[in-house]
Amino acid sequence: MRFGVHVSISGDLARAVARAKERNCETIQIFSSNPRSWKGKEFSKSEIGEFKKGCWLEGLEPVVAHTPYLLNLASPHQGLWSKSVEALAEALKSSELLGCDYLVTHLGSHAGAGEVEGLKRISSAISVVMKGARAIELLLENSAGAGFSLGYSWEQLALIVSELNYSQRVGVCLDTCHAFAAGYDLVSKESLSRMIELFDRLLGLERLKLIHANDSKGSIGSRLDRHESLGKGSIGESGFRLIVNHPQLKSLPCILETPGMGLEDDIRNLAFLRSLVQPGAGARGRMSKLGIRN
């Protein structure tokens, strides 16, 4: 399993690589633009070149981007839905230019229009934007299910994917806090295996590309989307030990989005997660393109 964190692109794009190096990352996630703005961030050719070169030299793999928070692909309001589709298309284009392997997106809220209608609008939005995608995979992130948010069950994600025109370029990002808050038990070995079996039956494990490792402030099934530092929440040490050593998960890249996200917090959380990997449990991930890390 390859471990990394979400790092800021503030100041200079190349600083993201330096921040990842400071944290001893093997993979990296960045925002494709300002997370709380509709306006996309433009990068110069030299910035893009330095970022791609830096990721390559540091053996950062995969390179992951995340869409802004404002997108609502399930919105029943045509104006907001159209704006979200445009922003997702822009994020895909920007992420491809940066050489990212994946773009992660939240799915949004049906705002009272009903889950069936919301799921259809999500599928429609993704089908529209994936027409123009060439070298990147879109990952749908599961939600905690708070309010009217969608994507909190594997059944819902399976329904979305089943309606897509370009489903071969769409995968899933498993957020541990969201899954736990939505009612999936990650602390019991038997329950974790049942969840994975259900995912495989509905979506196929080949679609599971990435894990967001976040502990949960809320209890199981609370629908509370509140991340906690690893080992300090309801999933706890025992849950993450099961996750990082599970035979069907241990080869996946794992990115932290824990609270604080400062240097010391990230180093502590990464060290905690790595300490749980059992000797002989398998390779920590794919060989990088340079063979620098394994």
**Is 225 an active-site residue?**
yes
Q: Please pick, among 36, 190, 206, 264, the residue that the annotation labels catalytic.
A: 36
Which DSSP helix (H) or strand (E) runs through 254? strand 254-256
Q: Please pick, among 6, 19, 23, 66, the residue that the annotation labels catalytic.
A: 66
Q: Please pick, among 6, 19, 110, 178, the residue that the annotation labels catalytic.
A: 178
Integer Cα distance of 137 and 133 in angstroms: 8
Integer Cα distance of 160 and 271 in angstroms: 36
Task: Indicate if the alpha-carbon torsion angle 252, 12, 66, 230 is positive or negative.
Answer: positive
Q: Please pick, among 90, 101, 141, 266, the residue that the annotation labels catalytic.
A: 141
Q: Please pick, among 19, 106, 110, 246, the residue that the annotation labels catalytic.
A: 106
**Is 190 an active-site residue?**
no
Q: Please pick, among 257, 265, 274, 286, the residue that the annotation labels catalytic.
A: 257
Q: Please pick, among 175, 215, 228, 266, the residue that the annotation labels catalytic.
A: 175
**Is 36 an active-site residue?**
yes
At 171, phi and psi to the nearest 5? Answer: -125, -165
- C-alpha distances (whole Å) from 68 to each of 71, 249, 283 are 6, 27, 33
Rg (CA), the chain: 18
**Is 268 an active-site residue?**
no
> Looking at the DSSP assignment, which residues form a beta bridge with residue 213?
256
| Tokens 């708070």 belong to residue | 146
Q: Please pick, among 61, 137, 225, 228, the residue that the annotation labels catalytic.
A: 225
Residue 84, Cβ neighbours under 10 Å: how many? 26
**Is 175 an active-site residue?**
yes
Integer Cα distance of 257 and 259 in angstroms: 7
**Is 101 an active-site residue?**
no
CA 227 to chain CA centroid, Å, is 14
- C-alpha distances (whole Å) from 251 to each of 1, 155, 285 are 5, 24, 5
Q: Please pick, among 69, 155, 194, 197, the residue that the annotation labels catalytic.
A: 69
- C-alpha distances (whole Å) from 104 to each of 57, 114, 243, 271 are 24, 24, 20, 24
Which DSSP helix (H) or strand (E) runs through 104? strand 102-105
**Is 47 an active-site residue?**
no
Which residues form the catalytic set? 36, 66, 69, 106, 141, 175, 178, 212, 225, 227, 257
